[in-house]
Structure 1
Amino acid sequence: MPGDMDTPNIRPFLDMIAVAELGRALIAKSDNGYNVLVGSTPAAPKLFRSYADHPRQLVLIRAGLSSTAAGRYQVLARWYDIYRRQLGLTDFGPVAQDRIAVQQIRERLALQLIAAGRFDEAVSRVRNIWASLPGAGYGQNEHSLDYLRGIYVQAGGVLA
């Protein structure tokens, strides 16, 4: 819900996810990460131009692995379609992407943990959503909890 963006610590938590998924350099070379396609690197950013809809581009990551992930939180096209209907979204712009991420966090019962500064528990609850979180288990680069905690605190997040 729109008011969830006022939840204490939610913005630093979202910033942490974006840095984990995309990296600071790629965020800096894009529209704060909101227009990034999966497979992008700082040296070769792949950016989409329109927020009218999810870009729906199937990108080959490596042999046997393709993805439609896009945006600041690397949302798959199929999930965007579900959340678009559920949340009444009209586009794939920054506000819509933030609302999707917060809804995913809410569905994992982590919103109150984030508000209370219980960072480690919150990350554990949402790790299956974002491949870059520790314990995600998708065979991609997972960041350490210490590294992510540092990003969160640097972004203004408060730990319990």
Structure 2
Amino acid sequence: MLFVLSGLLLSRASLIGSQAMAAALAISLVPGSLLIPQAKADEAEPKLLFQLPPPAPRLFAITPERRALLNTIRFAEGTWAGGDAIGYRIMFGGGLMPTLERHPDRVIRKSGYASAAAGAYQFMPFTWLLASRTLGLQQFGPDVQDQAAIFLIQRRGALALVDQGLFTPGLAAKLAPEWASFPTLAGRSFYGQPVRRFESLKRFYEDNLAKLRGLQPVAKAEEPSCEPADSLRCRVEALQKLP
């Protein structure tokens, strides 16, 4: 394309070239103090130099009903230990973890079985990884294990049943795929392993829940004895009580 300027015939290329030269000349006339070096210009751009904190752990409330079920799981899995905290250190086979800093992730063979289950609720490594990452849990202490166990109960769709305070065959069956010691509706282990009888688990649960709620058996109040025993009134009352 051609342009006519002041009687001169100029090509488009020559016109663009002259404009570029003019721009370069204008920049060269600007004082150096007003020019921003490229490196400093990059530094002037806002940058996020901090990291967001990790999400807070999701904590479940520990009600008497939930604690009673947690204790029942420990009873079924063989880690109850009379309610002692040492149960949180038990590995498959009965050995103890030297530390609660992490899941031991160690396969142990005993009585024809091999398992890496560990802790009060006998977490398998992959199950523990799922629960701890979902809840943002750190280490492997008792409180952390409790939270992870409730997460697994909720994951099986059984937490609402737990909160009713009743240990039913349906509740046990929902948890059977998570804990092999819990019976299915047919009374067998979901994995063909040793299983606790439902009646045994229910009895433990109910006794434990009563203690957690502070409900102790109340002795039947005895009627005060009639005094003096040889009086006519007392003799009449004694006759009335005879079958």
SS at match of 1:66: strand
Q: Larger RCO: Structure 1 or Structure 2 (Cα < 8 Å, ≥ 6 residues apart)?
A: 1
- How far apart, in 2, do the equivalents of 1:86 and 1:94 lie? 18
Output the CA distance in 1 between the equivalents of 2:176 and 2:83. Answer: 26
1:48 paired to 2:127: no
Q: Distance in 1 between matches of 2:207 and 2:115?
A: 30
Matching of residues 59-70 of structure 1 within 5 Å: 59-63=108-112, 65-70=113-118
Counterpart for residue 85 of structure 2: 31
Q: TM-score, normalised by structure 1?
A: 0.84
Residue 145 of structure 1 corresponds to 198
Distance 1:146 1:28 in 2: 19
State yes or no: 1:111 paired with 2:111. Answer: no
Q: Which amino acid aligns with 1:114?
A: V
Q: Which runs of 4+ in 1 moved over 6 A?
A: none
CA-CA distance at 1:117 after TM superposition: 2.5
Match of 2:143 among 92, 95, 100: 95
Note if contact 1:30-1:36 (Cα within 8 Å) is conserved in structure 2.
Answer: no
Give the fraction of aligned pairs with identical amino acids, expressed as a percent: 30
Aligned length: 149
Structure 2 gap segments, 5+ residues each: 1-57, 214-243
- Summarize the Cα distance change of 1:98–1:29 in structure 2 as closer, same or farther, 3 Å threshold: closer
| Distance change (3 Å), C-alpha of 1:19 and 1:124 | same
Any conservation in 2 of the 1:30–1:47 contact (CA below 8 Å)?
no
Which residue type is aligned with residue 72 of structure 1? Answer: A
Matching residue's letter, 1:142: V
1:18 aligns with 2:66: no
| Backbone CA RMSD of aligned residues | 2.0
Structure index of larger Rg: 2
TM-score normalised per structure 2: 0.57
CA distance in 2, matches of 1:90, 1:48: 17
Superposition deviation, residue 56 in structure 1:
1.2
The yes-or-no answer on 1:4 pairing with 2:61 is: yes
The aligned counterpart of 1:43 is none
Cα shift at 1:22: 0.7
1:134 to 179, 183, 196: 183
Show structure 1 runs of 5+ residues with no match.
41-45
